[in-house]
Structure 1
Amino acid sequence: MPAASEGPEGRPPVPDADLPRTWRPMGVRLAVVGFGLVLLVVCAAAWIGFGDETRAKFNILQRLTLLAMGAGFGVIGWALGRARVTAERAGLVVVNGFRTRRLAWEQVVAVHLRSGAPWATLDLADGTSVSAMAFQGSDGKAARDGVRELRALIDRAGSEGS
C-alpha cells in the first residue's frame, strides 16, 4: 500500500497548492439560461394572451403534454449547463451531461482543443478518448486558456510520476 504522501501505484500525487480547480463552459450556460428565460416568457405571454375560450379548449392531456415538453427542455438545459472538469489531487472529474467520470492522473495522457472542434477531448492511456465539454470551442480564449492550464497539470502529474 502506498505511503500517505504517495498517490495510487506509489506515484506522487499532483501538488494541491492550486487544486481543486474547476472549469465550466460560459457560453453554453449563458445560452441555456437566456433561451430558457425567453422561452418561458414567450410561452407565458402566449398563454395569457389566449382568451378564456381558447384556454378552455385545452384538455388535461394537452396541458400535461405542454408541461412535459417544458420539463424536457429544462432537463436538457440542466444537463448542458452542468458540464465541468475538476482537477483534484487524485485526478480529474469529468462531467458531461448526465455522466460523471473519475480519472486518475495516470489515465490521462493529453488534452486537445482542435481548431473548429466543438469541445476538447482527453486522450487516455488505454487508447480511448473522453469529451471534455467544459472546454467549449465557442468560448474562445477562455477555453484555450483552460486547456493550457489542464495540460500543464497533466504534464506536471506525468513528470512527477516518472
Structure 2
Amino acid sequence: MTVSAGQSGREGRSGREGREAAIADLHRPFVSRRGRIVAWVMGVGQALAFIACALLLPWSGVDQVGINDRIGLLVIAVFIGWGMSRFGGVRATPSKEGLVVRNLLITRTLTWREVEGLNFGVSDPWVTLNTEDGDPLAVMAIQRADGEPARSEAERLATLIEYHHTTAQ
C-alpha cells in the first residue's frame, strides 16, 4: 500500500502493519501435518504394545520370559519411540536470516543467499532445495502425502525465497 500526502497517518500505519503481518505469516514454520500425526500415533501405539508384551508375557512355566527380555522389550520401545519422535519433529523454520531445516537425523541452517530455489515435482515425496553449494537439501516438512496443503506450503516457501532474494539486493 502506498501512502499519499493526503492520507492519514493511521491509514499508513495500518497498511504497514498489514504488510508486516503478511511477512510474519510467510515466516511461519513448515511442519508436516499427516506425517506428524502418523509418527506420534505409531510411537504411542508401539510403546503400548511393547509395554503390554513386557507385562503380560508369562512370568513362570515353560514359556517364561525373564526380566532381561522384558527390559530388552522396553529398550526397543524407547528406541522406536525416539525414531518416531524424529519423524514427528521434522520442520523447517524460516527467519529473516535464513532457514533451519530439521530432517530425521540432520539439522542444517542455510542463509537465504545459499538457497537458489526449490523443486517439488509430481513424483517428489517432499520439497528439495537447490543450494548454492550444489548439494540438494530435502525439506521433509513439506511432504507430498499432505496433498493440496503441501502444494500451498511449497508455494509459500518459494515466495519466501523470492522475497528474501529481492529484499537482499
Moved over 6 A (4+): none
Say if 2:118 is the partner of 1:114.
Answer: no
Select 1:92's aligned residue among 72, 96, 99. Answer: 99
Q: Kindly provide the CA deviation profile for residues 9-63 of structure 1, in whole angstroms up to 9, marking residues without a partner as x.
A: xxxxxx7841642010011111112222332343444455545436982223212
SS in 2 for 1:94: strand
Say if 2:73 is the partner of 1:66.
Answer: yes
Identity of aligned residues (%): 26
Q: Kindly provide the CA deviation profile for residues 77-97 of structure 1, in whole angstroms up to 9, marking residues without a partner as x.
A: 011111101110101111112
Structure-2 residue corresponding to 1:7: none
Aligned residues: 148
- Aligned mates of 1:154, 1:47 — CA distance in 2: 50
Say if 2:86 is the partner of 1:79.
Answer: yes
Query: What is the identity, as a one-letter code, of the residue corresponding to 1:24?
Result: V
Query: What is the identity, as a one-letter code, of the residue corresponding to 1:149?
Result: R
Say if 2:163 is the partner of 1:156.
Answer: yes
Instruction: State whether residues 32 and 143 of structure 2, in contact with CA within 8 Å, keep that contact through their aligned partners in structure 1.
Output: yes
User: How far apart are 1:102 and its partner, in Å?
Assistant: 1.1
- Aligned mates of 1:76, 1:91 — CA distance in 2: 27
Output aligned runs, 1:11-30, within 5 Å.
17-18=23-24, 20-30=27-37
Kindly indicate whether structure 1 or structure 2 has the higher relative contact order, using CA contacts under 8 Å at least 6 residues apart.
1
Gaps of 5+ in 2: 1-19
- Aligned mates of 1:91, 1:141 — CA distance in 2: 25
Instruction: State whether residues 92 and 139 of structure 2, in contact with CA within 8 Å, keep that contact through their aligned partners in structure 1.
Output: yes
User: How far apart are 1:153 and its partner, in Å?
Assistant: 0.9
Question: Superposition RMSD on alpha carbons, in Å?
Answer: 2.3
User: How far apart are 1:64 and its partner, in Å?
Assistant: 2.2
Select 1:31's aligned residue among 29, 32, 38. Answer: 38
Structure-2 residue corresponding to 1:147: 154
**Length-normalised TM-score, structure 2:** 0.77
**Length-normalised TM-score, structure 1:** 0.80
Query: What is the identity, as a one-letter code, of the residue corresponding to 2:93?
Result: T
